[in-house]
Chain A
C-alpha cells in the first residue's frame, strides 16, 4: 500500500498553508535580521551581543543598553564543571561522543540550568513587574562573597550609564543578573531563559572540549558516591 491508495484525516478537508513562515531571518542569499541587512549593516556596525539582543527583542539596543547587556552576558557566562550542566557536557566528552553530541548535551544542560534558575526567581520576576511591595527577602545577597560580586557588577555597569535602581536592594549575584536583564528589556520569561542559556553555553562547550575523550581514569567516578538501596 502507498499514500496514493490510502486515505486519512490529513488527506481530507483539513487545510494547511503550502509555505513555511519566516518572522526573523529572511531566507535566501542576502539574509537580514528583523529587517537589518546582516552583511552590509550589522556585521560592520554591531557586536555579537547586539545581534543576540536584536534576535530576541526585535530591535537594536541603544549604546547604553548595548554595553549593559554585554556586561550581563559576561557575568552570566562562566559556569564551572561543579555545575550539573557543564559537568554533563564533560561526561559526554569523556564517553567519546562526537563534538556535535557534546554540544547538544551542553545546550540541553544550559537550557535546563536557565529554566531552573528562573523557577527559583519566579517571585523576583513578579516583583520586578510590579515593585509595589517589599523586595522579596530570599533574593538578598547571602554572604560577603555574594555582595562583593554584585558590587563588581555595579562597577562594571557604571560606565554604561544605565541606571538599575533595583540593584540597591542588595540582591544576590543571580538575582542581580536577572534584574539587569529585566532592566535592559528582557521581561518575558522565555526570552530571559533563552539569553541565560545562550550566555552560558560557551563555557560548558569549552570545558567539555578541554577534556580528553575516554579519559575515564582521571574522572572521579564516586563523586558523588551512589548508595544502592532496595528499600522503598
Chain B
C-alpha cells in the first residue's frame, strides 16, 4: 500500500550532489570566500543578504551587545548547567531561557513591536512633538512596564552610548525608526525619568534595516550567542564548584516541619491544611503568587 505523501515546503536549504543551496544562494559558488559569518547569520534569519554596510550595523550591534559578566542572570544559568561538565547543553539552556524573556535579546522583538505601534500612530509626523508626546503619554498611562526602557544599576546604558556612536559613524542616525526611538525616549525620560536601553536601540536600528519584530528578536539572539558559548566553554572546563553550594549559603523560607495525615497527628504551622480536597479546598491557589 502506498501512503499519502506528506509535504512541507522550505526556503532554507537543499543538499545537492556537488553544490548545495541556502536561501537561494549556491553555497560554494556564492557564499564560500565571499560571505561573512555575520552575513550568513543575517541570511539565516531574513532569507536574504544585506549590503556590506548594513551587515556592518549588525556587527556593530553584536560587538556593543557584548556584556558577558557571569553574574548576569541568563549567563549565570549557563554557568550552572556547565558545572556538570558539558558545553552544548549549557549553551542550549542559555538559548532556551531567552524566548519571550523579560531580559535578554528577545526584548528587542518587543521593543520593535512598540516602535511599530508608535510609528503607526505618528506616521510621518515624527517632528510633531505634541503628537508624539500625546501618543507616548497615552501608552504610558496604560502600561507600567515599557519594553526597551530602564537601565538597572546605572544611569544610562553604556552599550547604547557606544552603539549610537557606531550608528552616527554610519550616518544612519536620521533614519525613520532611530529618530522615532529618540523622540519616544525624550517623552519617556520626561514622564517616567527612565532612560532607553540597548534593547530599543537595536530594535530601531534593525527596523531601519527592514526586519520584522520576530526577525529582530531572532537575529539579536543569534548575535548574543557568543557570550553563552564563552561561559559554556569555560564553565564546563572549570566550573564544577557550582554543582552544589554549601547548605550554609541557602536560606530556607518554606513551610515549617510537619507530619503528613497518613503518618499520624499533624504538627507545624499549617496543620489544618495538611491535605487538600478538591475542588472546594483549592481556593488558596487562586491567590497564590
Using a CB–CB cutoff of 8 Å, the interface residues on chain A facing chain B are 8-10, 12, 14, 17-28, 32, 34-37, 40-42, 44-46, 53, 57-62, 64-65, 68, 100-101, 104, 108, 162, 183-185, 187-188, 223-232
State whether the Cβ of B34 lies closer than 8 Å to any Cβ in chain A: no
State whether the Cβ of B282 lies closer than 8 Å to any Cβ in chain A: yes
Q: Which of B6, B92, B255 contacts A34 (CB 8 A)?
A: B255
In the assembled complex, the CB of A82 is this many whole angstroms from the nearest CB of chain B, namely 11
Q: Mark B12-40, 1 if CB is under 8 A from A, else 0.
A: 11100000010110000000000000000
Alpha-carbon gap, A21 to B252, bound state (A): 6
B13 proximity list for chain A (CB < 8 A): 228
In the complex formed, the residue of A with least CB distance to B273 is A59
Q: Does B278 contact A230, Cβ atoms closer than 8 Å?
A: no
Q: Does B288 contact A58, Cβ atoms closer than 8 Å?
A: yes
In the complex formed, the residue of B with least CB distance to A65 is B278
Q: Does A21 contact B8, Cβ atoms closer than 8 Å?
A: no
Q: Does A41 contact B9, Cβ atoms closer than 8 Å?
A: no
A9 proximity list for chain B (CB < 8 A): 152-154
A sample of 13 inter-chain contacts (CB < 8 A) reads: A9-B154, A21-B252, A22-B252, A36-B259, A58-B255, A59-B274, A60-B261, A60-B276, A100-B89, A183-B278, A185-B282, A187-B282, A225-B7
B268 proximity list for chain A (CB < 8 A): 35
Q: Does B250 contact A41, Cβ atoms closer than 8 Å?
A: no
**Size range of the interface on B?**
35 or more
5 tightest CB-CB pairs across the interface, nearest first?
Answer: A35-B255, A9-B153, A45-B262, A224-B6, A228-B14
Q: Does A20 contact B251, Cβ atoms closer than 8 Å?
A: yes
State whether the Cβ of B11 lies closer than 8 Å to any Cβ in chain A: yes
In the assembled complex, the CB of A115 is this many whole angstroms from the nearest CB of chain B, namely 10
Q: Which of B89, B254, B277 contacts A24 (CB 8 A)?
A: B254
Alpha-carbon gap, A227 to B21, bound state (A): 12
Q: Which of B24, B86, B252, B288 contacts A230 (CB 8 A)?
A: B24
Alpha-carbon gap, A57 to B260, bound state (A): 15
B24 proximity list for chain A (CB < 8 A): 230
State whether the Cβ of B128 lies closer than 8 Å to any Cβ in chain A: no
B122-168 CB contacts (< 8 Å) to partner A: 152-154
Alpha-carbon gap, A28 to B282, bound state (A): 31
In the assembled complex, the CB of B266 is this many whole angstroms from the nearest CB of chain A, namely 10
Q: Does B249 contact A226, Cβ atoms closer than 8 Å?
A: no
Q: A27-B252, A62-B278, A228-B14 are in contact. List 16 more A-B contacts (CB 8 A).
A: A12-B153, A20-B249, A20-B251, A25-B254, A36-B258, A41-B260, A44-B263, A59-B275, A65-B277, A100-B89, A101-B89, A185-B282, A187-B282, A225-B7, A226-B9, A227-B7
Alpha-carbon gap, A61 to B273, bound state (A): 10
B279 proximity list for chain A (CB < 8 A): 183-185
Q: Does B275 contact A60, Cβ atoms closer than 8 Å?
A: yes
Q: Which of A8, A27, A231 contacts B247 (CB 8 A)?
A: A27
Supposing A34-B254, A35-B255 touch, asked if A184 and B260 sit within 8 A by C-beta, the answer is: no
State whether the Cβ of B10 lies closer than 8 Å to any Cβ in chain A: yes
Q: Which of B12, B263, B274, B285 contacts A57 (CB 8 A)?
A: B285
Supposing A24-B254, A37-B257, A229-B10 touch, asked if A162 and B278 sit within 8 A by C-beta, the answer is: yes
